[in-house]
């Protein structure tokens, strides 16, 4: 950058000095552009990663649905299979008649019913519901809804096991009530699953 002159005084070579700062400036602009690009690409990279994770999850769920063989060709057949499993005390099998995303929570609940010797009363209630239900809506979009009425003669408080040692107390007033059982068709294997009980 500096060149000595014959008198011993160093002179600045402005051409070389300018070239040096131009290179530094270009490198700084390039670094700023790279940082800006990385900041702009970050959300797109995250979206791509989220998309890949969702796709992997979807492929895994599709495989589970394709491999699912627990259920009947009609909602009624599935419900009868569910009750038969409960009558045998096989709560693991009974939980498999629910839609896949609810099987784990229903397994916990049914285990609680079994541990507290409440399965027989549940079976009687389910059979009564089955005998009185009416299809309240036509089967559309792979969903079937069955409505049933029940009468509570005397108000009472009932404690339902929820799983993990937790329970929920429900107060039943006297009167006539309606409820629904909803089934959903597994389109991959054409079997019906219990969605809402």
The pLDDT confidence band at residue 81, using thresholds 50, 70 and 90, is very high
pLDDT for res 18: 62
Task: Name the residue with tokens 């009425």.
Answer: 149
Per-domain residue ranges for the chain?
14-66, 70-196
The model carries a pTM of 0.62
pLDDT for res 56: 64
* C-alpha to C-alpha distance for 108 and 98, rounded to whole angstroms: 13
Nearby residues of 99 by Cβ (< 8 Å), 6 or more positions away: 184, 186, 193, 194, 195
70-196 has which CATH code? 3.10.450
Residue 10 has pLDDT above 70, yes or no: no
């Amino acid at each position: 950058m500096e060149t000595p002159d014959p008198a011993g005084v160093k002179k600045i070579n402005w051409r070389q000095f300018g070239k040096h700062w131009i290179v530094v400036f270009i490198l700084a602009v390039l670094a700023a552009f790279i940082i800006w690009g990385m900041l702009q690409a970050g959300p797109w990279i995250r979206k791509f990663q989220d998309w890949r994770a969702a796709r992997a999850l979807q492929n895994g769920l599709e495989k589970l649905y394709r491999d699912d063989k627990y259920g009947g060709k009609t909602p009624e057949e599935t419900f009868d299979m569910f009750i038969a499993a409960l009558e045998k005390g096989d709560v693991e099998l009974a939980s498999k008649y629910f839609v896949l995303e609810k099987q784990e929570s229903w397994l916990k609940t049914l285990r609680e019913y079994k541990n507290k010797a409440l399965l027989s009363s549940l079976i009687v209630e389910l059979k009564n519901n089955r005998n009185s239900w009416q299809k309240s809506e036509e089967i559309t979009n792979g969903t079937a809804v069955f409505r049933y009425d029940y009468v509570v003669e005397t108000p009472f408080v009932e404690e339902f096991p929820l799983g993990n040692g937790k329970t929920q107390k429900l107060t039943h007033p006297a009167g006539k009530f309606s409820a629904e059982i909803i089934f959903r068709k597994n389109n991959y294997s054409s079997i019906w699953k219990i969605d809402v009980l």
